[in-house]
Homo-oligomer: A and B are copies of this chain.
Amino acid sequence: MGIHFVSATADEVVAEMEIAEHHRQPYGIVHGGVHSGLIEAVTSVGAALAALARSQSVVGLENHTSFLNAVREGKLRATAQPLMRGRRTQIWEATVTDAEGRSVATGRVRFLALEAGASLAGETVKVKESSKS
């Protein structure tokens, strides 16, 4: 989707995305799926970083996105912060703002924490760090 990560830690993730023609639905406003996807992206990175500190990985369970204001153009900025980072699950919240700083969408994503070695879709989960080596 053309997401640029500005900063990412286990406490906060910030990303930006320039609205392009293919992000708009027929009425000319940004498609809701773009907001859900952006929220999924920033919360996933945050949850994965928090999980990594425990040698865990995460998989998304539920994404609930509320659309607040229609937006047509400019740069979107998404900021994610944790609501709860447990050993079994995590919840992160993210808000998307437009170029004028208005909140245009906000959502919460619940993640399941997986121990290294857990099976997922027929493959063994590796924590991110070890998969880089």
A residues near B, CB below 8 A? Answer: 1, 25-29, 31-34, 36-41, 44, 48, 57, 59-72, 83-84, 88-89, 91, 103, 106, 108-110, 112, 120-121, 123, 125, 128, 131
Which residues of B lie under 8 Å from residue A57 when comparing CB positions? 27
Known A-B contacts A120-B70, A123-B28; A63 and B65 likewise in contact (beta carbons under 8 Å): yes
CA distance A110 to B106 in the complex (A): 12
A44–B65 CB distance below 8 A? no
What's the least CB distance linking A40 to chain B, in Å? 4
A68 to B89, CA, bound (A): 9
Contact yes or no, B26 A128, CB < 8 A: yes
* A48 smallest CB distance to B (angstroms): 8
Given contacts A66-B83, A83-B103, A84-B68, contact A33 B25 (CB under 8 A): no
Indicate if the CB atoms of A68 and B88 lie closer than 8 Å: no
Contact: A33 with B36, CB < 8 Å? yes
